[in-house]
Structure 1
């Protein structure tokens, strides 16, 4: 395993090492897995069509898969079926995208029902993360969507797909999401985390998981802050 600073090693164990580019190949995913193991990340996060993955025996590496990605504009039944198939093909965790338009329209009961449909298709202990696209929402909408996710028994609320024009994670959004869910769910910061200091700032704000594609560069960058403890 690559030798990392104490800060970087702590951050590595919070990273979902991510490859979601449409042009991703099986060879690129194999390289992603090898790099994740070398860096000591928590998981790899890939598109559902890349499953099943070949994880070397003995590797301490989870598999996360996106669902309804990246628009969230899929019928709930399709998201649920996609999530269930991913779990059947070896995924440990599902990162689903909500219908952002429903949230913008104030239809938070529909958002909750959408999340609940996916939750029902992948019962605990499989992990469900809910991507809310926080940069596209007002603070009030972020709070309401996080409450919907908690009510639907999600394990995490997650800032972003990394594909939306509005942008990715911000410290403000992560802090607000953490304040909203408290200890009822966890927070994943994704999109725009490009340095070790960025990662540490997200952790300080309350994130306990990070969605990162450039993990090696981030973990090799200098940092001035100390990480908060994970849970």
Structure 2
């Protein structure tokens, strides 16, 4: 329980007699605060919230100032927020926090955030493909491949056409998808291939 962990850190800090003991009391406190970020939403609100919880512990709040600054810096820097979200996803830690931060970034139509956020909706094709499409249209090759895979698995003529289009877009971005393209060429007519290859070069393509 994050609240218990925070109270324990506070208790150990107030009982500490030396700087080393105080530092040890705050060990892992960032992880504890991460558990609160989805509740309060911003670093500023986190600082305000903790201040309300411990109004008579100015030394404790002061010791946490660098942590509050860390969360505020994430709020102010979309790139840092994206990097921290990816890090949490890779480590498998605090999935709710990563999802929360990525959700904030998708509201600003961040391309890579759209791609990463889509992973949280893998079981919901409508939302999954929607966020993938947003990322794919903005040039994220991983999203273009994932979207192409979805269309290819439909096993229909229309699906193959869309799949071919998105694999070509991924190839434009330097991704090796020769095998996928060759397989689809066997399922498409020469006319389809010619038209789709032309659409890939068209910025206003209706395929997007």
TM-score by length of 2: 0.27
Task: Please identify which structure carries the higher helix content.
Answer: 2
Which structure's CA Rg is the greater one?
2
Relative to the length of structure 1, the TM-score reads 0.25
Greater fraction of residues in strand: 1
Structure showing greater relative contact order (alpha-carbon pairs closer than 8 Å, 6 or more residues apart):
1
